[in-house]
Amino acid sequence: MGDTKVRPTGRREEPLRSKTSTNETPSGATRVRAVGSVRVPVTLTACPRATLHQYPDGRLVFCVGLWDVERVARRCVSPATLRGYARASGLTGLAREIDELVHAAVAGEADG
């Protein structure tokens, strides 16, 4: 019935993209910038770090590692979604930290 393909176990190697005109913006910026991070209390024992990333086109995205069955899975959400979680959970300090990071990213004052 044909050759059977065996799937390798372990970590898969990812190819690196070369710098081409397809991933460059008109301003020449080609990298996603990590602006800063906050700790997000999810449960009493879990408090993962959410890192704010700014794309070359100005979009802002928080990425956080959340436990998913047997491994940590990266989830990316908008600042508004994370801010909504903080406010709904009564975490006013977290909401304030999120607003400060977003303001720093927009103003270009954050270290990266």
The pLDDT of residue 9 is 52
Residue 17 clears pLDDT 60, i.e. is over it:
no
Express each pLDDT in 43-97 by its tens digit.
888 899 999 999 988 899 999 998 888 898 999 999 999 999 999 999 999 999 9
Domain ranges for the chain, please list them: 32-107
- Under the banding of pLDDT at 50, 70 and 90, the label for residue 112 is very low
Q: Where are the beta strands (DSSP E) in the chain?
A: 33-39, 49-54, 60-68, 71-77
The strand order across the sheet containing 33-39 reads: 33-39, 49-54, 60-68, 71-77
List phi, psi (to 5°) of 69: 55, -80
Look at residue 51 and give its three-state secondary structure: strand
pTM over the 0.85 mark: no
